[in-house]
Structure 1
């Protein structure tokens, strides 16, 4: 888990308590749309830099034996997928930055924080975020393969608690894998998203889906990259 530099890394007990509060907040409302609002509000409060903390909270629920809590979260993501309004986090695509347009000397102000590896940015759902974090050069240190596999497997097991999420998420990933226009995904990432989508849609187990994302990925990550765990 990458915490924000100014924030301490939460302890396991603090993560469990936070996950319990999240589930309780969702359970307090019967309206699926309001539950989605609660989930998105949490993501906004955490901020872009702490989206991995949100993923950890989802992982805590996924690892628990509370099937009701898992179903509640998964169904909220099902609502998000139906609305095409996913609670997402942003990762910068380093390779997509370009020089500012200019015919004369460049002013220093042209080299803003949005130039060096900061564009384009798009909000990524949990599965896409983990995949991009693992495979692409972003503002974060790359996610290690073993941690990626474990986190992805847990996430898919959680999402499978909802019929809508299990049906709609692979469709979204397959569509994303076909989109070459936005520049947010590399070819290797699109291939992995397509592999996840195909294995998930085929009803493979969460572990098998996660393994499908890793197959043949060794050539995608430069050997000198530094990787880390969640």
Structure 2
């Protein structure tokens, strides 16, 4: 996930601090601000660390903490303001047009190689794109993806708003054909997740709906677990 992985103790401490900060305030808008502030402090490149902190809460036996975090995501979904991370949009850019003139090496910038533009993605969409598409990150393995997504959905289901609104958002995203946002395979998987989630399927079954990716989406890159 990052070059220097935090220890389990550090992750548990960070998760405990997050839950304590959320629990200290009854205002749901303030809780969302706390969540977004954590994402900002970690920085864009460390959004996977945010997902790991959330994952610690999701895999714990603290139902109150899970509900608190899920309800905060529910507020974000109502506001269409999910705390998100950025992944590069593979294929969003094309070969620079020089009118037939020789192309300088400097033209092959990060923009050309797909590092930009980037799209801000919520936690579920981030996991899907990280697993299925070529981005600036080493690909997330199928096992890491399946486990992380099922855990995330199980936690989000503790909020009525999150359980209802997130599948609707994913279904809408699946219809988005803007260049560079999602590949066709990714849109298919987002639609499958949305349908299974909205139908009330168990989190593991919802995660499985995203595993059956088209062969064209596969790439032989080295993978790294979340």
Q: TM-score range by the shorter chain?
A: over 0.9
- Tell whether the 8 Å contact from 1:62 to 1:157 is kept in structure 2 after alignment: yes
- Equivalent position of 1:152 in the other structure: 149
- Displacement of 1:49: 1.1
The structure-2 alpha-carbon separation of the partners of 1:163 and 1:83, relative to structure 1 and needing over 3 Å to count, comes to same
- Equivalent position of 1:164 in the other structure: 161
- Equivalent position of 2:215 in the other structure: 219
CA–CA separation in structure 2 for the residues paired with 1:200 and 1:220: 25
Q: CA RMSD in A?
A: 1.5
1:203 partnered with 2:200: yes
- Displacement of 1:214: 1.0
- Tell whether the 8 Å contact from 1:135 to 1:189 is kept in structure 2 after alignment: yes
- Displacement of 1:55: 0.4
- Displacement of 1:220: 3.7
1:78 partnered with 2:74: yes
- Equivalent position of 1:100 in the other structure: 96
Q: Could you tell me the TM-score, scaled by structure 1's length?
A: 0.93
| Structure 2: gaps spanning 5 or more residues | none
CA–CA separation in structure 1 for the residues paired with 2:105 and 2:214: 39
- Displacement of 1:106: 3.8
- Displacement of 1:108: 4.7
- Figure out how many residues of one structure are paired with residues of the other and give that number: 225
- Equivalent position of 2:15 in the other structure: 19
What pairs up with 1:21-36 in 2 under 5 angstroms?
Answer: 21-36=17-32
Match of 1:184 among 175, 181, 184: 181
- Equivalent position of 1:133 in the other structure: 130
Match of 1:121 among 118, 121, 124: 118
The structure-2 alpha-carbon separation of the partners of 1:36 and 1:223, relative to structure 1 and needing over 3 Å to count, comes to closer
1:63 partnered with 2:59: yes
Match of 2:33 among 21, 37, 57: 37
CA–CA separation in structure 1 for the residues paired with 2:179 and 2:35: 26
Q: In the TM superposition, what whole-angstrom CA distance separates every residue of 1:32-91 from its partner, at most 9, and x where no partner exists?
A: 111111111110111111111000011100111111110111011000000000100001
| Structure 1: gaps spanning 5 or more residues | none
Structure 1 SS opposite 2:215: coil
CA–CA separation in structure 2 for the residues paired with 1:206 and 1:140: 25
Q: In the TM superposition, what whole-angstrom CA distance separates every residue of 1:137-190 from its partner, at most 9, and x where no partner exists?
A: 111111111110000000000100100000000000000000102421000000
Q: Could you tell me the TM-score, scaled by structure 2's length?
A: 0.94
